[in-house]
Amino acid sequence: MIPLARSSVTGMKSIAVLGAGKMGEACIRHLAGKAARSVLVSNRSHERAIHLAKEFGGRAVRFEECHQGLMEADIVVSSTGCPQTILDAKDVAAVMQVRPGRPLFLIDIAVPRDIDPDVHKLPNVYLYNVDHVEQVVRDNLKCRQQEVGRCKEIIAKRATAFLGKINPPSERAPAAVGEGSGSWVFSHAAACAA
């Protein structure tokens, strides 16, 4: 979720976090130092919001006044434990009237969702939710898995070269075993590590 928010942040400086639990705090920790000029924190427990906002040089907004904070924010991350939505299309449309031409990125990581999915129909409003975050995770995992093969090739080549330097020619493994897949290198490296 954090890379998704960071990728949306280009040119945006104000972040509002609705919900100051573990997820909200994690978002603030990652985003506050990377891109945010200002941080707004809203939580049912106003004392918790004050504590977290103070820690990051931000400002606490009472939960019942969180719509006011949305008027200032470029990105809103919502992660409350509320059993129903806290932002509907009507609320967000009212906020957008006060900020014409400024896009608003909403990132809903709450389960159940905090933000009504219909807000994505509003102009200049971009809603991301847990499903989008899961897709980012799947894409990142796929990229990492593709790199594993390349890493193994690099390790095999370098280990073979290293072993060639430290072993006299008579002690080297037969060429058919040491070349190709690098299995000889990996098996000997595993034996050395044990």
How many folded domains does the chain comprise?
2
Report pTM.
Answer: 0.65
CA 89 centroid distance within chain: 25
pLDDT at 108: 92
Q: Let me know whether 159 and 119 are in one domain.
A: no
User: Tens place of pLDDT for every residue, the chain, 194 residues?
Assistant: 444 444 444 555 788 899 988 888 888 777 766 666 788 899 999 999 999 889 888 899 998 888 888 888 999 999 998 899 999 999 999 999 998 889 999 999 998 999 999 999 999 999 998 777 777 777 788 888 888 888 888 999 999 888 888 886 665 555 554 455 455 555 555 455 44
Residues 98 and 165 in one domain: no
Same-domain check for residues 175 and 147: yes
Q: What is the CATH number of the domain that holds 128?
A: 3.40.50.720
pLDDT at position 155: 92
Co-location of 26 and 60 in the same domain: yes
Torsion of the alpha carbons at 73, 79, 81 and 85, rounded to the nearest 10: 60
- Domain around 162: 142-193
Q: What pLDDT, on a 0 to 100 scale, did the predictor assign at position 172?
A: 53
What does the pLDDT read at residue 101? Answer: 86
Residues 129 and 163 in one domain: no
What's residue 46's pLDDT? Answer: 92
Which residue, 102, 133, 164, sits at the end of a domain? 133
Query: In this structure, are 99 and 18 located in the same domain?
Result: yes
Same domain, 67 and 159: no
76 and 125 housed in the same domain: yes
Whole-angstrom Cα distance, residue 168 to residue 73? Answer: 67
The amino acid at 96: M
